[in-house]
Structure 1
Amino acid sequence: MAKTVLLNTRIFAAGADLTSRSNKVEMSCEIEDKDATAFRATDDPEAGWKEVLGGLASTSITGSGQWEAGDPGKVDDMAWTNLSGLTTHPWTVCPLSAAVGDLAYSSSGLITSYKLGEAVGEVAPWEAQAKGSGMLVRGQVAHPPGTARTASGNGTGLNLGALSASQRLFASLHVLSATGTTPSLTVRVESDADDAWASPTTQATFTAATAAGGQSTEVLGAITDTWWRVAWTITGTSPSFLFVASLGIA
């Protein structure tokens, strides 16, 4: 991938698409370095050198942009729901775009700070920070945000690879809108040995969604299937959903 100017970055938090309301986003992870240095013999070539062990890992997400409020898809509503409920929600950041197969970074985060307001005459801003509750996962977009779904179906397969016994597949789901009478969307994660999808296996199922919101789930290894996708079941009268999903192995 060549050097890139950030112009089309997509940002999703819980059930909000913050893309057109944001001008900055950062996701970071770090591992504590614990000093494990011990005495060594004077003729040991490593004498005098520090030894460290990896401690706890942590994730941080920071975003800012233009403040809006009034429905669950806007930053103020999303942030206050997260703050008042002391709950974690999935965050997904796609550096280039959110087409199927595009690079996506995701984590489940708890908003720990939220700031709004500026001087008279200025565009009302927002700024938020979330602390990750789990891994920062590098994966791919499995369903794009701009395709409305009105009936049950299957997503495009992604060749993410098999899971070893020490690996997990992480899946994030952002339901951005739900319309119709008693609409319900149930998204599941499927795997298969190849892209023919002759005998897909359901590996995880998200809770049925009837409104905007976010969820995350995990699939434990070992699994020999190498192809992965999301599939969905939609019920209700004249239902329509916009949602984005990402999958990644760590």
Structure 2
Amino acid sequence: MAAEIRTFTCLTDNFGYLIHDPATKATASVDAPEAGPIIRALEREGWTLTDILITHHHGDHVGGVAELKQRYGCRVVAPHDKSTKIANVDLRVVNADVIKVGSLLARVVETPGHTLDHVSYVFDAEKVVFAADTLFSIGCGRVFEGNYPMMWDSLLKLRALPDDFRLYCGHEYTASNVKFALTVEPDNPALKARAEEVARLRAENKPTVPTLLGDEKKANVFLRADEPSVAARLHMKGADPAQIFGELRERKNKS
């Protein structure tokens, strides 16, 4: 039986995600921005929380952990960096570790840059990646703790996943990401098509995720920093892709 995934809003613009294994009834929350929406989503489905898979230590991703742990006694899985303040951690994970959620298998990919402890969870059999604040649809996270070469390397890890994988990210930022990306690649047909789709989805109050990685590779300018046309647009022909990525991120920071 295929895994079931539910998407809902937490806080103001965070996404909450539940991934459920029908075979074993195990259910994981990817991050825990706040407890209330996660509890309500679980109750709607009749599911019991068995695991929380934390991607990084920022408060808007771990704020609900303590309450959920107390309520369900669930296992809390978190990145290995113990210097970060994440409550009630049961298991620390590093790159290439495999986590079981019932019979589902999640592969840990270290994706630092936004924070130094950031990890993404890849469910290969389900063709799904939960990338939190490393990779957004048509965007990427701000680089708070790492540096631009580090973040670019993390994006390349995610870009290397197959085109038919679905991307689930941490925030509903797609409309603003599209607006910025069009300033760099106004003639990109894949980006223009995505812009129309996002406008329609947001007008209908629907989420813009998941999105296919293959589509992101064509339309997300942050995944295209090694494209000659992007370098030319930035007047950076021949520059290292990590430098080009850094310039893109700096421009987005100011947009």
Same fold (TM over 0.5): no
Name the structure, 1 or 2, with higher relative contact order (CA <8 Å, separation 6+). Answer: 1
TM-score (norm 1): 0.28
Structure with the larger strand share: 1
Structure with the larger helix share: 2
TM-score (norm 2): 0.28
